Protein backbone atom coordinates (compact mmCIF):
# COMPACT_ATOMS: atom_id res chain seq x y z
CA UNK A 1 0.00 0.00 0.00
CA UNK A 2 0.99 3.60 -0.37
CA UNK A 3 1.58 4.15 3.33
CA UNK A 4 3.79 1.04 3.60
CA UNK A 5 5.78 2.09 0.58
CA UNK A 6 6.21 5.60 1.86
CA UNK A 7 7.25 4.33 5.25
CA UNK A 8 9.97 2.28 3.53
CA UNK A 9 11.07 5.28 1.51
CA UNK A 10 11.49 7.35 4.64
CA UNK A 11 13.23 4.76 6.79
CA UNK A 12 16.25 6.95 7.37
CA UNK A 13 14.69 10.33 7.47
CA UNK A 14 14.15 10.94 11.15
CA UNK A 15 15.92 13.97 12.49
CA UNK A 16 16.35 15.91 9.26
CA UNK A 17 14.92 19.41 9.21
CA UNK A 18 13.29 19.35 5.83
CA UNK A 19 12.30 16.76 3.26
CA UNK A 20 15.21 16.47 0.81
CA UNK A 21 14.77 16.58 -2.93
CA UNK A 22 15.69 12.91 -3.21
CA UNK A 23 13.12 12.02 -0.56
CA UNK A 24 10.47 14.02 -2.36
CA UNK A 25 11.28 12.41 -5.72
CA UNK A 26 11.07 8.96 -4.20
CA UNK A 27 7.77 9.90 -2.62
CA UNK A 28 6.42 11.27 -5.86
CA UNK A 29 7.14 7.95 -7.55
CA UNK A 30 5.08 6.08 -4.97
CA UNK A 31 2.17 8.50 -5.18
CA UNK A 32 2.24 8.29 -8.93
CA UNK A 33 1.90 4.51 -8.80
CA UNK A 34 -0.96 4.73 -6.32
CA UNK A 35 -2.87 7.24 -8.45
CA UNK A 36 -2.38 5.28 -11.66
CA UNK A 37 -3.56 2.15 -9.88
CA UNK A 38 -6.68 4.09 -8.90
CA UNK A 39 -7.20 4.89 -12.60
CA UNK A 40 -6.57 8.62 -12.40
CA UNK A 41 -5.89 9.97 -15.89
CA UNK A 42 -2.19 10.46 -16.63
CA UNK A 43 -2.19 14.23 -17.26
CA UNK A 44 -4.07 14.69 -14.00
CA UNK A 45 -1.54 12.50 -12.17
CA UNK A 46 1.28 14.67 -13.53
CA UNK A 47 -0.33 17.93 -12.52
CA UNK A 48 -1.21 16.57 -9.12
CA UNK A 49 2.30 15.28 -8.41
CA UNK A 50 3.72 18.66 -9.30
CA UNK A 51 1.40 20.31 -6.83
CA UNK A 52 2.27 17.88 -4.04
CA UNK A 53 6.01 18.19 -4.72
CA UNK A 54 5.85 21.94 -4.40
CA UNK A 55 4.09 21.74 -1.11
CA UNK A 56 6.31 18.99 0.24
CA UNK A 57 9.45 20.96 -0.64
CA UNK A 58 8.32 23.85 1.52
CA UNK A 59 7.19 21.76 4.46
CA UNK A 60 9.19 21.49 7.66
CA UNK A 61 9.54 17.94 8.93
CA UNK A 62 6.92 17.83 11.62
CA UNK A 63 7.61 16.81 15.20
CA UNK A 64 4.32 15.01 15.57
CA UNK A 65 4.23 12.96 12.39
CA UNK A 66 6.78 10.77 10.71
CA UNK A 67 7.71 11.85 7.17
CA UNK A 68 5.55 9.21 5.49
CA UNK A 69 2.55 10.35 7.47
CA UNK A 70 3.38 13.93 6.72
CA UNK A 71 3.47 13.32 2.99
CA UNK A 72 0.25 11.35 3.16
CA UNK A 73 -1.30 14.27 4.99
CA UNK A 74 -0.24 16.66 2.23
CA UNK A 75 -1.43 14.27 -0.49
CA UNK A 76 -4.71 13.79 1.31
CA UNK A 77 -5.27 17.51 1.79
CA UNK A 78 -4.53 18.25 -1.85
CA UNK A 79 -6.85 15.44 -2.95
CA UNK A 80 -9.68 16.66 -0.75
CA UNK A 81 -9.06 20.18 -2.03
CA UNK A 82 -9.38 19.17 -5.68
CA UNK A 83 -12.34 16.93 -4.95
CA UNK A 84 -14.19 19.94 -3.69
CA UNK A 85 -13.52 20.57 -0.01
CA UNK A 86 -16.98 20.99 1.38
CA UNK A 87 -19.82 19.48 -0.61
CA UNK A 88 -22.00 21.94 -2.49
CA UNK A 89 -25.75 21.80 -2.07
CA UNK A 90 -28.34 21.81 -4.82
CA UNK A 91 -29.40 25.31 -5.81
CA UNK A 92 -33.12 25.80 -5.63
CA UNK A 93 -34.80 28.42 -7.82
CA UNK A 94 -36.25 31.44 -6.06
CA UNK A 95 -39.30 31.02 -8.24
CA UNK A 96 -40.37 27.35 -8.48
CA UNK A 97 -40.09 25.03 -10.25
CA UNK A 98 -36.42 24.33 -9.77
CA UNK A 99 -35.21 22.57 -12.91
CA UNK A 100 -32.54 19.87 -12.65
CA UNK A 101 -31.33 18.40 -15.90
CA UNK A 102 -29.37 15.14 -16.07
CA UNK A 103 -26.79 14.58 -18.79
CA UNK A 104 -24.29 11.81 -19.43
CA UNK A 105 -23.44 8.77 -21.49
CA UNK A 106 -25.91 5.95 -21.92
CA UNK A 107 -25.74 3.56 -19.00
CA UNK A 108 -24.12 6.12 -16.73
CA UNK A 109 -27.09 5.96 -14.37
CA UNK A 110 -29.21 9.02 -15.28
CA UNK A 111 -32.61 7.36 -15.15
CA UNK A 112 -31.77 5.59 -11.91
CA UNK A 113 -30.53 8.91 -10.52
CA UNK A 114 -33.79 10.61 -11.53
CA UNK A 115 -35.60 8.12 -9.28
CA UNK A 116 -33.07 8.59 -6.48
CA UNK A 117 -33.37 12.36 -6.65
CA UNK A 118 -37.14 12.01 -6.73
CA UNK A 119 -37.19 9.91 -3.59
CA UNK A 120 -34.68 12.13 -1.82
CA UNK A 121 -36.45 15.36 -2.75
CA UNK A 122 -39.76 13.92 -1.67
CA UNK A 123 -38.19 13.02 1.66
CA UNK A 124 -37.22 16.65 2.07
CA UNK A 125 -40.76 17.81 1.58
CA UNK A 126 -40.53 18.72 -2.11
CA UNK A 127 -42.94 17.59 -4.77
CA UNK A 128 -40.75 16.48 -7.67
CA UNK A 129 -41.79 15.71 -11.22
CA UNK A 130 -39.64 13.36 -13.30
CA UNK A 131 -39.60 14.15 -16.99
CA UNK A 132 -38.94 11.57 -19.71
CA UNK A 133 -36.97 13.53 -22.29
CA UNK A 134 -35.11 10.41 -23.37
CA UNK A 135 -37.09 9.24 -26.37
CA UNK A 136 -34.09 7.59 -27.96
CA UNK A 137 -34.64 4.08 -26.77
CA UNK A 138 -38.10 2.50 -26.91
CA UNK A 139 -38.19 1.46 -23.28
CA UNK A 140 -36.61 4.58 -21.79
CA UNK A 141 -39.97 6.15 -20.97
CA UNK A 142 -41.20 2.95 -19.36
CA UNK A 143 -38.02 2.69 -17.33
CA UNK A 144 -38.47 6.19 -15.96
CA UNK A 145 -42.13 5.52 -15.16
CA UNK A 146 -41.17 2.40 -13.22
CA UNK A 147 -38.52 4.29 -11.28
CA UNK A 148 -40.94 7.13 -10.54
CA UNK A 149 -43.53 4.72 -9.28
CA UNK A 150 -41.00 3.03 -7.05
CA UNK A 151 -40.02 6.42 -5.65
CA UNK A 152 -43.65 7.39 -5.28
CA UNK A 153 -43.28 10.53 -7.36
CA UNK A 154 -45.00 11.87 -10.46
CA UNK A 155 -43.74 11.42 -13.99
CA UNK A 156 -44.28 13.47 -17.14
CA UNK A 157 -44.01 11.46 -20.33
CA UNK A 158 -45.39 11.63 -23.86
CA UNK A 159 -48.43 9.43 -24.53
CA UNK A 160 -47.21 6.17 -26.01
CA UNK A 161 -47.63 5.93 -29.76
CA UNK A 162 -48.77 9.50 -29.99
CA UNK A 163 -46.30 10.64 -32.62
CA UNK A 164 -43.60 10.83 -29.93
CA UNK A 165 -40.22 12.00 -30.88
CA UNK A 166 -39.46 15.53 -29.82
CA UNK A 167 -37.71 15.41 -26.49
CA UNK A 168 -37.12 19.16 -26.57
CA UNK A 169 -40.85 19.80 -26.76
CA UNK A 170 -41.57 17.26 -24.02
CA UNK A 171 -39.05 18.95 -21.77
CA UNK A 172 -40.39 22.41 -22.51
CA UNK A 173 -44.02 21.39 -21.98
CA UNK A 174 -43.15 19.67 -18.73
CA UNK A 175 -42.12 22.97 -17.16
CA UNK A 176 -45.52 24.49 -17.94
CA UNK A 177 -47.16 21.37 -16.60
CA UNK A 178 -45.11 21.53 -13.38
CA UNK A 179 -46.04 25.17 -12.90
CA UNK A 180 -49.73 24.44 -13.43
CA UNK A 181 -49.74 21.42 -11.13
CA UNK A 182 -47.47 23.01 -8.53
CA UNK A 183 -44.56 20.61 -8.71
CA UNK A 184 -41.66 22.52 -7.21
CA UNK A 185 -38.75 20.52 -8.65
CA UNK A 186 -38.50 19.14 -12.18
CA UNK A 187 -35.91 16.46 -12.91
CA UNK A 188 -35.30 16.12 -16.65
CA UNK A 189 -33.91 12.75 -17.73
CA UNK A 190 -32.18 12.89 -21.11
CA UNK A 191 -30.81 10.41 -23.63
CA UNK A 192 -27.20 9.41 -23.97
CA UNK A 193 -25.19 7.19 -26.28
CA UNK A 194 -22.43 4.80 -25.53
CA UNK A 195 -19.86 7.13 -27.02
CA UNK A 196 -19.71 10.87 -27.35
CA UNK A 197 -22.09 11.78 -30.16
CA UNK A 198 -22.59 15.18 -31.77
CA UNK A 199 -26.27 14.72 -32.55
CA UNK A 200 -27.18 13.74 -29.04
CA UNK A 201 -24.97 16.41 -27.54
CA UNK A 202 -26.84 18.94 -29.62
CA UNK A 203 -30.16 17.52 -28.44
CA UNK A 204 -29.04 17.88 -24.83
CA UNK A 205 -27.98 21.47 -25.52
CA UNK A 206 -31.39 22.17 -27.10
CA UNK A 207 -33.17 20.72 -24.08
CA UNK A 208 -30.99 22.85 -21.86
CA UNK A 209 -31.94 25.96 -23.83
CA UNK A 210 -35.61 25.02 -23.70
CA UNK A 211 -35.82 24.49 -19.95
CA UNK A 212 -33.10 26.84 -18.58
CA UNK A 213 -32.09 24.46 -15.81
CA UNK A 214 -30.99 25.70 -12.40
CA UNK A 215 -28.62 22.75 -12.25
CA UNK A 216 -27.24 20.59 -15.02
CA UNK A 217 -25.82 17.47 -13.43
CA UNK A 218 -23.30 15.41 -15.34
CA UNK A 219 -23.79 11.77 -14.38
CA UNK A 220 -20.73 9.60 -14.79
CA UNK A 221 -19.94 5.98 -14.07
CA UNK A 222 -17.08 5.70 -11.57
CA UNK A 223 -15.73 2.75 -13.56
CA UNK A 224 -15.06 4.94 -16.59
CA UNK A 225 -11.39 5.22 -15.61
CA UNK A 226 -9.09 6.88 -18.10
CA UNK A 227 -11.96 7.98 -20.37
CA UNK A 228 -13.22 10.30 -17.67
CA UNK A 229 -11.25 13.28 -18.96
CA UNK A 230 -12.47 13.09 -22.58
CA UNK A 231 -16.06 12.45 -21.62
CA UNK A 232 -16.19 15.22 -19.04
CA UNK A 233 -14.60 17.68 -21.45
CA UNK A 234 -17.05 16.73 -24.20
CA UNK A 235 -20.05 17.30 -21.93
CA UNK A 236 -18.56 20.48 -20.50
CA UNK A 237 -18.10 21.90 -24.00
CA UNK A 238 -21.23 20.41 -25.56
CA UNK A 239 -23.85 20.99 -22.87
CA UNK A 240 -22.08 22.55 -19.93
CA UNK A 241 -22.75 21.35 -16.41
CA UNK A 242 -22.82 22.75 -12.89
CA UNK A 243 -22.20 19.65 -10.84
CA UNK A 244 -21.18 16.02 -11.14
CA UNK A 245 -22.81 12.86 -9.85
CA UNK A 246 -20.56 9.83 -9.60
CA UNK A 247 -22.49 6.60 -10.02
CA UNK A 248 -21.72 2.94 -9.38
CA UNK A 249 -19.41 3.70 -6.52
CA UNK A 250 -20.56 0.40 -5.03
CA UNK A 251 -18.41 -1.30 -7.66
CA UNK A 252 -14.73 -1.93 -7.18
CA UNK A 253 -13.52 1.20 -8.96
CA UNK A 254 -10.99 3.02 -6.82
CA UNK A 255 -12.52 6.28 -7.94
CA UNK A 256 -9.72 7.88 -9.91
CA UNK A 257 -12.37 9.23 -12.29
CA UNK A 258 -13.55 11.55 -9.53
CA UNK A 259 -10.15 13.19 -9.31
CA UNK A 260 -9.77 13.40 -13.09
CA UNK A 261 -13.15 15.05 -13.58
CA UNK A 262 -12.84 17.46 -10.68
CA UNK A 263 -9.34 18.44 -11.77
CA UNK A 264 -10.20 18.95 -15.42
CA UNK A 265 -13.57 20.67 -15.09
CA UNK A 266 -13.29 22.38 -11.72
CA UNK A 267 -16.90 21.36 -11.07
CA UNK A 268 -17.96 19.93 -7.76
CA UNK A 269 -18.97 16.35 -7.35
CA UNK A 270 -22.24 16.66 -5.50
CA UNK A 271 -23.66 13.19 -5.08
CA UNK A 272 -22.51 9.61 -4.99
CA UNK A 273 -24.67 6.78 -6.27
CA UNK A 274 -23.93 3.51 -4.52
CA UNK A 275 -26.23 0.91 -5.97
CA UNK A 276 -29.28 0.10 -8.03
CA UNK A 277 -31.76 0.68 -5.20
CA UNK A 278 -33.25 4.13 -4.98
CA UNK A 279 -31.99 4.89 -1.51
CA UNK A 280 -28.41 3.94 -2.35
CA UNK A 281 -27.47 7.53 -2.82
CA UNK A 282 -25.65 10.07 -0.69
CA UNK A 283 -23.95 13.43 -0.69
CA UNK A 284 -20.41 13.12 -2.06
CA UNK A 285 -17.72 13.16 0.63
CA UNK A 286 -14.35 14.35 -0.71
CA UNK A 287 -12.48 13.02 2.32
CA UNK A 288 -13.81 9.50 1.89
CA UNK A 289 -13.06 9.56 -1.81
CA UNK A 290 -9.50 10.73 -1.12
CA UNK A 291 -8.94 7.75 1.16
CA UNK A 292 -10.47 5.43 -1.41
CA UNK A 293 -8.20 6.75 -4.15
CA UNK A 294 -5.15 6.35 -1.94
CA UNK A 295 -6.12 2.81 -1.01
CA UNK A 296 -6.91 0.95 2.16
CA UNK A 297 -3.37 1.19 3.47
CA UNK A 298 -3.94 4.77 4.45
CA UNK A 299 -6.69 3.88 6.83
CA UNK A 300 -4.57 4.26 9.93
CA UNK A 301 -3.29 7.69 9.07
CA UNK A 302 -6.81 8.85 8.36
CA UNK A 303 -7.96 7.44 11.64
CA UNK A 304 -5.19 9.30 13.41
CA UNK A 305 -6.27 12.44 11.69
CA UNK A 306 -9.88 11.89 12.63
CA UNK A 307 -8.89 11.20 16.21
CA UNK A 308 -7.08 14.50 16.35
CA UNK A 309 -10.11 16.28 15.01
CA UNK A 310 -12.32 14.76 17.59
CA UNK A 311 -10.44 16.31 20.46
CA UNK A 312 -11.11 15.13 23.95
CA UNK A 313 -10.78 18.74 25.02
CA UNK A 314 -13.77 19.82 23.02
CA UNK A 315 -15.91 17.32 24.84
CA UNK A 316 -14.50 18.31 28.20
CA UNK A 317 -15.09 21.99 27.45
CA UNK A 318 -18.67 21.32 26.57
CA UNK A 319 -19.16 19.38 29.79
CA UNK A 320 -17.74 22.10 31.98
CA UNK A 321 -19.75 24.74 30.19
CA UNK A 322 -22.85 22.78 30.89
CA UNK A 323 -21.92 22.10 34.47
CA UNK A 324 -21.35 25.77 35.20
CA UNK A 325 -24.51 26.93 33.50
CA UNK A 326 -26.72 24.04 34.50
CA UNK A 327 -27.34 23.63 30.79
CA UNK A 328 -29.09 26.96 30.42
CA UNK A 329 -26.79 28.52 27.89
CA UNK A 330 -26.62 25.49 25.66
CA UNK A 331 -27.41 27.08 22.27
CA UNK A 332 -28.23 25.80 18.81
CA UNK A 333 -24.60 26.52 17.87
CA UNK A 334 -23.51 24.07 20.56
CA UNK A 335 -26.13 21.64 19.37
CA UNK A 336 -24.73 21.86 15.84
CA UNK A 337 -21.14 21.53 17.06
CA UNK A 338 -22.16 18.41 18.91
CA UNK A 339 -23.85 16.92 15.87
CA UNK A 340 -20.78 17.65 13.76
CA UNK A 341 -18.65 15.81 16.30
CA UNK A 342 -20.94 12.85 16.16
CA UNK A 343 -20.79 13.02 12.39
CA UNK A 344 -16.99 12.90 12.49
CA UNK A 345 -17.34 9.79 14.56
CA UNK A 346 -19.71 8.50 11.92
CA UNK A 347 -17.02 8.61 9.28
CA UNK A 348 -14.56 7.12 11.72
CA UNK A 349 -17.06 4.33 12.27
CA UNK A 350 -16.96 3.43 8.58
CA UNK A 351 -13.19 3.16 8.78
CA UNK A 352 -13.28 1.23 12.03
CA UNK A 353 -15.71 -1.23 10.55
CA UNK A 354 -13.10 -2.28 8.05
CA UNK A 355 -10.62 -3.16 10.75
CA UNK A 356 -10.77 -6.43 12.64
CA UNK A 357 -12.07 -6.28 16.18
CA UNK A 358 -13.62 -2.88 15.85
CA UNK A 359 -17.13 -3.99 15.03
CA UNK A 360 -18.50 -3.20 18.45
CA UNK A 361 -17.47 0.43 18.48
CA UNK A 362 -18.83 0.72 15.00
CA UNK A 363 -22.20 -0.59 16.11
CA UNK A 364 -22.40 2.05 18.80
CA UNK A 365 -22.10 4.91 16.40
CA UNK A 366 -23.31 3.72 13.06
CA UNK A 367 -26.91 4.68 13.41
CA UNK A 368 -26.11 8.32 12.78
CA UNK A 369 -27.89 9.52 9.69
CA UNK A 370 -25.53 11.69 7.67
CA UNK A 371 -28.29 13.36 5.74
CA UNK A 372 -29.99 14.30 8.94
CA UNK A 373 -26.82 16.04 10.12
CA UNK A 374 -26.55 17.90 6.81
CA UNK A 375 -30.12 19.01 6.98
CA UNK A 376 -29.85 20.10 10.58
CA UNK A 377 -26.71 22.06 9.78
CA UNK A 378 -28.48 23.76 6.86
CA UNK A 379 -31.40 24.75 9.04
CA UNK A 380 -29.26 26.12 11.86
CA UNK A 381 -27.07 28.00 9.40
CA UNK A 382 -30.17 29.74 8.06
CA UNK A 383 -30.90 31.17 11.50
CA UNK A 384 -29.73 34.52 12.83
CA UNK A 385 -27.25 34.52 15.73
CA UNK A 386 -30.06 35.64 18.00
CA UNK A 387 -32.24 32.73 17.00
CA UNK A 388 -29.43 30.26 17.59
CA UNK A 389 -28.78 31.75 20.99
CA UNK A 390 -32.37 31.74 22.06
CA UNK A 391 -34.63 29.61 19.86
CA UNK A 392 -37.71 30.51 21.88
CA UNK A 393 -37.97 33.65 19.72
CA UNK A 394 -38.56 31.55 16.59
CA UNK A 395 -42.17 32.27 15.68
CA UNK A 396 -44.17 31.36 12.60
CA UNK A 397 -42.74 33.95 10.25
CA UNK A 398 -39.17 33.30 11.37
CA UNK A 399 -39.81 29.60 10.88
CA UNK A 400 -41.01 30.21 7.35
CA UNK A 401 -37.92 32.30 6.56
CA UNK A 402 -35.57 29.67 7.98
CA UNK A 403 -37.35 26.91 6.08
CA UNK A 404 -37.05 28.83 2.84
CA UNK A 405 -33.40 29.64 3.44
CA UNK A 406 -32.46 26.05 4.08
CA UNK A 407 -34.70 24.42 1.47
CA UNK A 408 -36.74 22.31 3.89
CA UNK A 409 -40.31 22.60 4.99
CA UNK A 410 -41.56 24.42 7.98
CA UNK A 411 -42.29 21.21 9.85
CA UNK A 412 -38.61 20.24 9.64
CA UNK A 413 -37.63 23.52 11.31
CA UNK A 414 -40.23 22.99 13.94
CA UNK A 415 -39.06 19.43 14.53
CA UNK A 416 -35.47 20.55 14.90
CA UNK A 417 -36.29 23.23 17.45
CA UNK A 418 -38.30 20.71 19.43
CA UNK A 419 -35.41 18.27 19.36
CA UNK A 420 -33.14 21.05 20.53
CA UNK A 421 -35.34 21.82 23.52
CA UNK A 422 -35.35 18.13 24.39
CA UNK A 423 -31.56 18.07 24.15
CA UNK A 424 -31.27 21.19 26.27
CA UNK A 425 -33.46 19.67 28.93
CA UNK A 426 -31.32 16.56 28.89
CA UNK A 427 -28.14 18.64 29.02
CA UNK A 428 -29.43 20.53 31.97
CA UNK A 429 -30.32 17.35 33.79
CA UNK A 430 -26.90 15.91 33.07
CA UNK A 431 -25.15 19.09 34.12
CA UNK A 432 -26.91 18.96 37.44
CA UNK A 433 -25.88 15.37 37.85
CA UNK A 434 -22.31 16.31 36.88
CA UNK A 435 -22.27 13.82 34.00
CA UNK A 436 -20.78 14.10 30.57
CA UNK A 437 -22.85 14.95 27.50
CA UNK A 438 -24.48 11.91 26.05
CA UNK A 439 -22.04 11.17 23.32
CA UNK A 440 -20.70 7.70 22.68
CA UNK A 441 -17.12 7.59 23.93
CA UNK A 442 -14.13 6.88 21.78
CA UNK A 443 -11.25 4.73 22.97
CA UNK A 444 -8.52 6.97 24.39
Residues that bind ligand GDP (CB under 6 A): 104, 106-112, 192, 247-248, 250-251, 273-276
Closer residue to ligand GDP (CB): 87 or 376: 87
Min dist. Cβ of residue 116 to ligand GDP (A): 8
Pair type for strands 243-247 and 268-273 = parallel
**Distant-in-sequence, close-in-space partners of 316: CB < 8 Å, separation ≥ 6:** none
Q: What is the DSSP letter of 276?
A: S
* Residue 192: contacted member of Mg ion, ligand GDP, none (CB under 5 to 8 Å, by partner type): ligand GDP
CA nearest to 271, candidates 219, 214, 231: 219
**Distant-in-sequence, close-in-space partners of 93: CB < 8 Å, separation ≥ 6:** 99, 214
Q: Torsion over CA of 162, 165, 171 and 172, rounded to 10 degrees? A: -80
* Residue 274: contacted member of Mg ion, ligand GDP, none (CB under 5 to 8 Å, by partner type): ligand GDP
Closer residue to Mg ion (CB): 143 or 364: 143
- Restricting to residues 105-134, name those near Mg ion by CB under 5 A: 110-111
**Distant-in-sequence, close-in-space partners of 371: CB < 8 Å, separation ≥ 6:** 282, 283
Min dist. Cβ of residue 313 to ligand GDP (A): 40
Closer residue to ligand GDP (CB): 104 or 158: 104
* Residue 275: contacted member of Mg ion, ligand GDP, none (CB under 5 to 8 Å, by partner type): ligand GDP
CA nearest to 370, candidates 87, 142, 37: 87
Min dist. Cβ of residue 247 to ligand GDP (A): 4
How far is 69 from 296, CA to CA, in rounded Å? Answer: 14
How far is 374 from 416, CA to CA, in rounded Å? Answer: 12
How far is 435 from 315, CA to CA, in rounded Å? Answer: 12
Min dist. Cβ of residue 148 to ligand GDP (A): 13
CA nearest to 270, candidates 228, 213, 219, 230: 219
* Residue 203: contacted member of ligand GDP, Mg ion, none (CB under 5 to 8 Å, by partner type): none
* Residue 279: contacted member of Mg ion, ligand GDP, none (CB under 5 to 8 Å, by partner type): none
Min dist. Cβ of residue 260 to ligand GDP (A): 18
Closer residue to ligand GDP (CB): 130 or 211: 130
- Restricting to residues 53-112, name those near Mg ion by CB under 5 A: 110-111
Closer residue to ligand GDP (CB): 275 or 295: 275
How far is 4 from 25, CA to CA, in rounded Å? Answer: 16
Min dist. Cβ of residue 61 to ligand GDP (A): 42
Phi, psi of 127 (to 5 degrees): -120, 95
With beta carbons less than 8 A apart as the criterion, state whether 402 and 432 touch.
no
How far is 85 from 286, CA to CA, in rounded Å? Answer: 6
Closer residue to ligand GDP (CB): 28 or 222: 222
Closer residue to ligand GDP (CB): 112 or 347: 112
* Residue 104: contacted member of ligand GDP, Mg ion, none (CB under 5 to 8 Å, by partner type): ligand GDP
Q: Return residues touching Mg ion (CB under 5 A).
A: 110-111
Amino acid sequence: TLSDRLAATFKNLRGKGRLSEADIDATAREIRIALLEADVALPVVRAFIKQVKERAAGAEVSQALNPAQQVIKIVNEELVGILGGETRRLRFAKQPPTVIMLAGLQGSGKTTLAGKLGLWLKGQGHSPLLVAADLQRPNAVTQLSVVAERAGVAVYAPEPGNGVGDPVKVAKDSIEYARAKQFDVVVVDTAGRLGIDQELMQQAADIRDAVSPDEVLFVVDAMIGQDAVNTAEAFRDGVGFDGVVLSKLDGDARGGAALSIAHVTGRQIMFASNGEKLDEFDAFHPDRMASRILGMGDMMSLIEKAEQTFSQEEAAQMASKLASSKGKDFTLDDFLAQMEQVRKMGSISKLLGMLPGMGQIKDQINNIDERDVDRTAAIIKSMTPGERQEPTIINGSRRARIAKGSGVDVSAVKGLVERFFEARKMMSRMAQGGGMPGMPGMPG
